[in-house]
Structure 1
Amino acid sequence: MSGAEGARSLLLTHERGAGTAVLAVDLGGTAMKGAVVSDRGETLVELTRPTPASEVVGALISLFRDLGESASGLGCRVVGAGVATPGMIDEERGIVRYASNLDWRDVPLRDALRDALDVPVALGHDVRAAGVAERLIGAARGTGDFVLVPIGTGVAAALVTAGGTVTGATGAAGEFGHIPVVIDGEQCTCGQRGCLEVYVSGAGLARRYAAAGGPALSSREIVARLGSDAVADRVWTRAVDVLAQGLNILTLLLDPEVIVLGGGFSRAGDALMIPLTARMSAGLAWRERPRVVRSELGGDAGRTGAAILAFRAAGLEAVADEWRAVIPTP
């Protein structure tokens, strides 16, 4: 069994039975993905609900309570809860400083959840939580120096060096998509020009394709047209060039052993990985590029990271460490 297959079987086994468990939610701007996760790493229950336009905290508490009832119905003892959320996060104090797609400022989310659930609660940044999971049981296991770059509607990064996650002075480290890599480039919604995600994200690719004369298509549909559509070829080539430049910047700053790519973009497979790695190598004159791989946990990485953080909040750090022991290092 490959490492990827081992990770998937560990996380997606649906054995029913009693034991210790945590509740985990990956909170996004459009959906809240929740699960009951056992101390053996098994996903016992999954619940996904749309993220409401308002009263998000109340909806999140309701989801957690429903997950807790499901856990009780299985005979599980819930020892903690974890939530991964976008935005600028003060993880030590449990406060979401700012999350634009949730319209949040200075929300004391950890305390609100702890009061409602009466168990230890962990709050983590969604991408950094995904990085915790990839390092423990995913594509970055075995290394303390890596970068996780999920590329979807937007682009961010989890930065891990010497085994520690870089959070920054304000909790905003990892805004990889808003590094201006194109001088005098196109306007970004953030107000800057030439930001990486203007060219590389799924939304950016679709917008640039339509602006160049193509029909309204998703990034996946644009990739499907490569080789037969000159406009698709042109915007894709530009996206890969910009991503290669951005990843080389990260390489020279952090010297990661491995770069893990996630999100919808990574599903382009060889259409992305072959030209990307070639252009990265060509752009690094005096050193080799790091290994570049696709995420092994995919869309479950954030929720899995939230579960790991929940076990840690409950004082059971060794539980998740045991998951790693049964998965071969790549």
Structure 2
Amino acid sequence: MVFTRTTGRRRRGLVIGIDIGGTKVAGGVVAPNGRVLARVRTETPDRSKSPEVVEDTIVGVVEQLRRGHRVRAVGVGAAGFVDERRANVLFAPHLSWRNEPLREALQDRLGLPVVVENDANAAAWAETRLGAGRGVRDVVVVNLGTGIGGSIVIDGVLRRGRYGLAGEFGHMVVVPRGRRCECGNRGCWEQYASGNALTREARELAAAQSPMASRLLEAADGDPARITGPLVTALAREGDRTCVELLEDMGAWLGAGLANLAAAFDPELFVIGGGVCEADDLLLGPARTHFRRALTGRGHRPEARIVRAALGNEAGLIGAADLARLVPPYRGSRSPGEAVRSRFFLRSPGPRPHRSGMRAGDRL
């Protein structure tokens, strides 16, 4: 477990954000302006471990972070399906959670209000409130990682859907009878525009002994299995034409999918996050070009901007903390997640004020 702290005076109004992924649990003490004052990072327990082991890991991170800080709540961003009450993790592919009452379990042990949120929703909230989408009311965030996740913010409201499961953009079918996806369907978007897709294409080219992949193979010591997305990006930055083309192909698929999302949601802004975005305009340039080509009504309608996310790997924990900040003071016998439903009007720190989160009567 790695612990780092930003020195400074003791502050009030602090919230702990936790971001749980397939390989790491990252936590931070987050100030209202989004600044992370202290950090802890540790490995995620193997998915064969019981839910209690994962819970112990989260509690350990929180207890370490709250020393020396007056913390009022905890937000947890989890890679999985979170119910509409933001209380139970219905399914987490990389963990042992199956309909796990995580909020209740953590509140009992920590004595603090806890909000559980899907990790992509948490990252999107951070980018909308404090990052690349700051001050924009209608934003769609797309995270390119192992797969593709995403979130929708319309009129300043994070839209989770009736059952809390909105934003699974990666499983839109873009190629009928296309590549088989882990979800069981064929032709899902993430099979063509994710980090896994980029790595797969590069490895297949190298395994075929194509002369075009000679630089890739050399950089991977002759082993296609050692080719990674970051390696492709690094070689593309150095000017390797094959790697540039691989990113262009991925960008084309990304742009086509964004055009579909524009037809559905008509956002002002797309924010593209995830590790693949280290390629920057090598990826986003082709995405913008193909977005314009595929956009319904192109040439006769306003066009959404496509920008890179601003908060990097800490967006998830910052967003989880900011969502938890909306929970009223804990009174032990109350249900914090339920109590916040009717009191959610928060001014954006951006250039123009707007209501964030939800309106009165919206489901938390």
| Displacement of 1:159 | 0.9
CA RMSD of aligned residues (A): 2.5
Give the alignment's TM-score, normalised by structure 1.
0.86
Give 1:219 shift.
Answer: 1.1
Answer yes or no: is 1:228 the counterpart of 2:221.
no
Q: Could you tell which deviates more after superposition, 115-124 or 51-60?
A: 51-60
CA–CA distance in structure 1, aligned partners of residues 182 and 44 of structure 2: 22
Looking at structure 2, the residues matched to 87 and 248 of structure 1 have their Cα atoms a distance apart, in angstroms, of 26
Local SS of the residue matching 1:47: strand
Query: What is the letter of the counterpart of residue 161 of structure 1?
Result: I
Match of 2:285 in 1: 274
Q: Which of 251, 256, 266 in structure 1 is aligned with 2:262? A: 251
Residue in structure 2 matching 1:103, options 96, 104, 123? 96
Residue identity matched to 1:131: A
- 235 and 223 in structure 1: CA distance in 2 versus 1, 3 angstrom threshold: same
Whether 1:114 and 2:107 are equivalent positions in the alignment is yes
3-state secondary structure, aligned to 2:132: coil
Structure with greater helix percent: 1
- In the TM superposition, 1:1-330 aligns within 5 A as 14-39=7-32, 41-53=34-46, 54-72=49-67, 74=68, 76-92=69-85, 94-213=87-206, 214=213, 215-216=224-225, 217-226=227-236, 227-230=239-242, 232-284=243-295, 285=298, 286-315=300-329, 321=346, 324-325=348-349
Deviations 1:135-176 (CA, angstroms, capped at 9, x unpaired)? 111111112211011101111111111222222233221111
1:92 CA drift (Å): 1.0
* C-alpha separation in 2, matches of 1:294 and 1:320: 27
Deviations 1:257-296 (A, max 9, x none): 0000001111101201222112211222343420111111
Determine if contact 2:28/2:65 at 8 Å carries over to the other structure. no
Q: 1:70 to 1:164 in 2, by over 3 A?
A: closer
Check conservation: 2:27, 2:41, Cα contact below 8 A: yes
Q: 1:298 to 1:320 in 2, by over 3 A?
A: farther
Q: How far apart are residue 71 of structure 1 and its match?
A: 2.8
Tell me by how many angstroms 1:190 deviates. Answer: 1.6
Indicate the larger mover: 260-269 or 183-192: 183-192
Q: Using the TM superposition, give the Cα deviation of residue 184 of structure 1 relative to its aligned residue in structure 2, in angstroms.
A: 2.9
Shift of 1:41: 4.0
Matches of 1:241 and 1:40 in 2, distance apart?
36
Looking at structure 2, the residues matched to 78 and 109 of structure 1 have their Cα atoms a distance apart, in angstroms, of: 19
In 1, distance between residues paired with 2:108 and 2:269? 40
Q: Quote the offset at 1:40 in angstroms.
A: 5.4
TM-score w.r.t. structure 2 length? Answer: 0.79
Contact kept in structure 2, 1:280 and 1:289, CA below 8 Å: no
Task: Flag the 1:62–1:207 CA change in 2: closer, same or farther, 3 A.
Answer: closer
Report how far residue 14 of structure 1 moved.
4.6
The letter for the 2-side match of 1:192 is N
Gaps of 5+ in 2: 207-212, 214-223, 331-339, 353-364
Shift of 1:194: 1.3
AA matched with 1:272: L
How many pairs are equivalent? Answer: 313
C-alpha distance in 1 between matches for 2:116 and 2:275: 25
Do the aligned partners of 1:150 and 1:156 also contact (CA within 8 Å) in 2? yes
The alpha-carbon distance between structure 1 residues 319 and 174, as it changes in their structure 2 partners (threshold 3 A), is closer
Contact 1:185 1:193 in 2 (8 A): yes
Q: Distance in 1 between matches of 2:137 and 2:254?
A: 23
Structure 1, 123-132 or 177-186: larger mean CA deviation: 177-186
1:104-130 deviation line (CA, Å, top 9, x unaligned): 210000000000101111111111111
Q: State whether residues 95 and 110 of structure 1, in contact with CA within 8 Å, keep that contact through their aligned partners in structure 2.
A: yes
CA deviation map 1:298-326 (0-9, x unaligned): 1111100111122112359999957x53x
For the residue of structure 1 that corresponds to 2:279, the secondary structure is: coil
Question: 1:9 aligns to what?
Answer: none
CA distance in 1, matches of 2:118, 2:153: 14
Contact kept, 8 Å, 1:14 with 1:42, in 2: the verdict is no
Task: Provide the secondary structure at the position in 2 that maps to 1:277.
Answer: helix
Name the SS for the 2:326 alignment partner: helix
Specify the code of the residue in structure 1 equivalent to 2:312.
G
Report if the CA contact (8 A) 2:141-2:152 is conserved: yes
> 1:39 & 1:165 partners in 2: Cα distance?
19
